[in-house]
Amino acid sequence: MGIFSFFSREKKETLDKGLSKTKESVFSKLTRAIAGKSKVDDDVLDELEEVLITSDVGVETTLKIISRIENRAEKDKYVNTQELTAILREEIAALLTENNTEDADGFVVPQEKKPYVIMVVGVNGVGKTTTIGKLAYQFKKAGHRVYLGAADTFRAAAVEQLVIWGERVDVPVVKQKMGADPASVAFDTLSSAVANKADVVIIDTAGRLHNKINLMNELTKIKNVMKKVVPDAPHEVLLVLDGSTGQNAFEQAKQFTAATEVNALAVTKLDGTAKGGVVIGISDQFHIPVKYIGLGEGMEDLQAFNKKEFVNSLFGE
């Protein structure tokens, strides 16, 4: 019990530190919005709408949240401004629950699926390879045998970076020469993983968005080739988004969800930005569970997303 609460406390501290810029920004705006007001009225709601939109929650999600708070204020007849953060916390947590974002321990490797195959997608520069390295570290720490596949064969830097992470975490990386067919790399990776009784395989892919049709065709081909080795692969398609880009992350999510069947999200770089609200908006708009959030450079700074702790961290306990 002591160990679990200790780690829980550590994670909470990392989360609070990682979201501190967003929290500061939200709270300073919120304080200005309710200054001199005692009751949540139309003016306060208008100000709150602006607070949420400028925190990159997104227009559609903001309007949903405002509507929920309006309903609460109507039902309770009198809601004072001191209760506003508590209500915000409750309504955003409820929204995340409705949108398929349940608290979880990230990816859980099922006993009956070995190897458990994760295909990682996202544009270059969002922290994709770093996220893969940290995931590999977490799986290995949990006692799993992990293989990585360097299927982003269009950038030498991507392959090199993955190899460095492989060495750091001490897991094998399967690669081919520059410009090789990404599907061929995926096939080789899964073949090696099966032959060596691996538990988890993580495949990196190229993040070029200049042509959605090409992207779609390439990702489909990788998936089809993987099925020749592991019939139900990939078990997860993880889209990595850079939280610091705010609304641009929404656009990337649109592009990738149109190109392939994304079923999990990781939102990175939240520690260096005041745009943490993007996690709420993306979860709401795409109805895809946020599995991980990136809160720093350290190996332990990729955290399994916990909606309750996230909302508490943003709006206070």
3-state helix, strand, coil in the chain (%, to 5): 55, 15, 30
Q: In the chain, which stretches have pLDDT less than 70?
A: 1-8, 77-81, 99-105, 209-211, 316-317
Domain ranges for the chain: 2-98, 116-306
CA distance 152 to 149: 9
The tokens for 80 are 């004072």
Q: What is the pLDDT of residues 218-272, one digit of tens each?
A: 899 999 999 999 999 999 999 999 998 888 899 889 889 988 899 999 999 988 7
CA 265, 253, 139 angle in degrees (round to 5)? 20
Mean pLDDT of all residues in the chain? 86
Question: What's the confidence (pLDDT) of residue 307?
Answer: 85
CA 139, 144, 148 angle in degrees (round to 5)? 65
The answer to whether 2-98 and 116-306 have equal CATH topology is no
Question: What's the confidence (pLDDT) of residue 317?
Answer: 62
Question: What's the confidence (pLDDT) of residue 316?
Answer: 67
CATH fold, domain 116-306, is: Rossmann fold (3.40.50)
pTM value is 0.90
Q: Where would I find the beta strands (DSSP E) of the chain?
A: 116-121, 146-150, 173-174, 200-204, 236-242, 264-268, 290-294, 302-304
Which of 3.90.420.10, 3.40.50.1820, 1.20.120.140, 3.20.20.70 is the CATH number of 2-98? 1.20.120.140
